[in-house]
Structures are given as structure tokens and as C-alpha cells.
Structure 1
Amino acid sequence: MNTLVAPSNTVSMSSREIADLTGKHHHHVVRDIKRDLGQMNVDVSRFGCIYLDGAGRKQTEYMLAPDLVMTVLTGYSVPLRHRVVTRLMELEKVSRYTISMPSNFAEALQLAADQAKQNASLHQVIQQQAPKVQALERLSATDGSICITSAAKQLGIGPLKLFKWLSDNRWIYRRTSFAAWSAYQPRLTSGLLEHKLVTVGKGAEENLKVVEQVMVTRKGITTLAEQLQGNSL
């Protein structure tokens, strides 16, 4: 198989980027460019480009090839030169890419098979990550901990089904048949559930009472979304 290294756009760096990398004022960098290129008898106007500044005024910057950038940097300190050189190397990496060209029919078939295998692996990863992505989407709609009924709404299932699933999977329990739901200690310790005091009742203040209620945390919503994904409740 033949490997070709193909260049894309020619690497260049603007005087404004040099100024940003070195912390110098742009007009000082332009001064240095004009001075150094002038000493080389290079017409600096060949590299000029027009841009609009923050006030909408036309200004001139200069796009330089790597060799001219290095020439201008000669008079700068080592740390400043290092910043610009590092950036130039990054640009050169981006500007070149490798193409593998099959030289015969067998290599072409192998390349197609390898590509199909990569696509299949990528598809598998996407499928594996889908529950987590959907869980995060649901989580984004929550604000702190919420009651189980609200959690069921976020998860897109019926409240009674969620209560049953939580009970069957040892998230919550009742001490007696008509007692309020409580969270199992491991679920509290792991931060999936929490107990919170809430006020229930309507009407006059004397008719209200404070009870302890199981709440689902943001972490709990995420975990439930992942565990319930693909389950028919």
C-alpha cells in the first residue's frame, strides 16, 4: 500500500497572532516585521491583509511564512520564540495529512474491510453510550433532588411503576403496609436518594404537617435513567 503525505493550505502566521503569543502590541510586531524584512530587501506589502478592528475600521496585518516568522523572532527572548515556534509546529501538523492508497485489488478489499470494522466498532460505542446521553438529557431538566413522582415524569414512566421498581430493586421500602416510604441506607450513602422534610396538606396552617419524604437526587436520576433504559415497565 502506498502512503502519500499531501499538503493542504500553506502554513502561515499573522502578525496579530504573533502579537497574541508574545504579549506584544500589534503595532510593535508590525514595526519589527517592516524593519527586518526591509533589511532583507523584501517588499512587506506583499504580505499585507486587511481586517476590521473592534471599531469597524480597516487595519493591516501581515501573513508570514514560517521562515519569515523565525526571522522576525530572532530579536525576541527565548520564551517568546518558544511560544511562537510551538504554535508553528501545531499548524504544520494540521496542514499535512496522510492518505493510504491501495496498490492492488487485494489491498483495496482489505482497506474496505478495515473501514467496515471501524464503523461497526464506532456504532457499538454509540449504542453503549446512548443510555448515558439520554440520562444526561433527562438530568438537565432537574433542579436538585425531586420526589419520586416527579422523577417518574422525568424518566417518562408511570409513578406507580417507578415505585414498584424501586421497591423490587431495594431502593425504597415500607416498615408497615401503610407507612411512608423510606430509602435503603446503601442508596442514601451512595447519594442516589435522600430524606427531606416536606410540608403536606391544604388549608389553614394548623391543618398542615411536616413529614419525611424520599427524594431522588440528580445522581439518582442519572443512575435510574441508565438502569431503566430499554426496560419495559
Structure 2
Amino acid sequence: MASELGFDGVELMVWADPVSQDVRAIDRLSQRSGVPVLAVHAPCLLISQRVWSPDPVERLRRSVRAAQDLGARTVVLHPPFRWQRRYADGFAQMVADLEEASGIDIAVENMFPVRRPLGRGRSVEVSAFRPSIDPTDVGHAHYTLDLSHAAAAHMDALELAKRMGDGLTHIHLADGSGAPKDEHMVPGRGTQPCAELCETLARGGFDGQVVLEVNTRRANSPAQRAEMLAESLLFARLHLDWPVEG
């Protein structure tokens, strides 16, 4: 589908799907379709805590090796969970050392808290991440900015991009309404400054990657899913001022 719609490449999300864990199978799919794997998302979701290894350090190392084998330039990584204390304590240095040794950009992603309702319109926010949902609180060489996560966190995505500065190398382009969940809406259908961010990146000569991370589960058919993805791609190309094919 990525080939048919004219995408430049894909980001591989490594998770419970057995094919996503098989680098050779992914390479065959890439060769067959002519669509390169441009980035690898490390298995760091709650549902993928035992994919490749129960050790988060080994999962990250395997993600870096997968990126090297597939010719991808970037590994996307979430901050450590709060209960991963030993991993969290050495996280920043480990990421820096792996980047230097591999030549792969490890772009740490902004996340969002969980909001628990207390009744009478009140709620409390709980972060599952250590030290926070904002990777700029620690400081890394490379970052992923996810606009859907920013929406769920009620963070100003443009200000977050400024804090990331020259380290902003990877974008997860999707929209959100500000609801306390990760929505990944088609860009332009929510409240996030998707167009403004893309245009700012284009004016600044951004040479990183923009990945459409759009939730298509509500599509009623493959054709509707393709329409959502095509609309997202057109939005990105128009606002990034990249050539629009067709």
C-alpha cells in the first residue's frame, strides 16, 4: 500500500506481530515492494516488553542492529518506564554510546501522561515515564516529536520543537483533539499545529524524517483506509512543500 500510494518509505514498528520481529522477512518485503525502511521503532510499548528480550537494553541494541541491516538511519525510542530504574539511571549515556558506536540516530520520543478522573470534573495526571514525558528534560542528541502525544499531554508542540532545537530529527505527524488518549488522527482533522509545524520545518531546511503515524482502525474498508492515508500524505507534501505526485 505504501508503494501504491507513493510514500517514500516506511517506519518499522517492532511489536507483537511476528513479521515485524523478523528482519529478513521485512527486508524481503522491502525489496519486493521497492519501499525502503527508513526508521525502526524499538519495541518499547507495554505489549512488547518481551519482544526480542525482556531486557530493554538488549531490545534497543537489537533495534539498532535491525536499522543497520535494513539501511535505516533512525531508531525511535520511548523514555524508560518509571519501574525500569536501572535502565533509566544509565539511559542517556547508553543512548549516546550506542549512537557513537553505530552511526544510527536514536531519536527519543515525547510521551503523554495518564489522566485518572476523580469526579466532579477533576482529574489527576500520572506519568509512567522516568524522569518525565518530555525527553528534553534529560537532553539527548536526537529527538522524535509526536504531535498526537503532544495533544494528549496538552503540550505546545511548537514550543516543544523549539526546545528540541537542532536535535529534532524525526517527526510523527498526526493530529489530536486534546482528549486524554493517543488518537493519531489524520493531520488537519484535530487541533494540533500540524500545518504550521511542517511549514516551519520546510522554511528551516529540515533534513530529518516525517512519518505519518495515523490510526486507520475506524476505516470501514481497505479503500477507506487507503483514502485516509492518501489524504495524510497529500497534507504532508503540501505543507512541507515537497513535490506532489499525480
Structure whose alpha-carbon radius of gyration is higher: 1
After TM superposition, the score normalised by the length of structure 1 is 0.22
Specify which structure has the higher proportion of helix: 1
After TM superposition, the score normalised by the length of structure 2 is 0.21
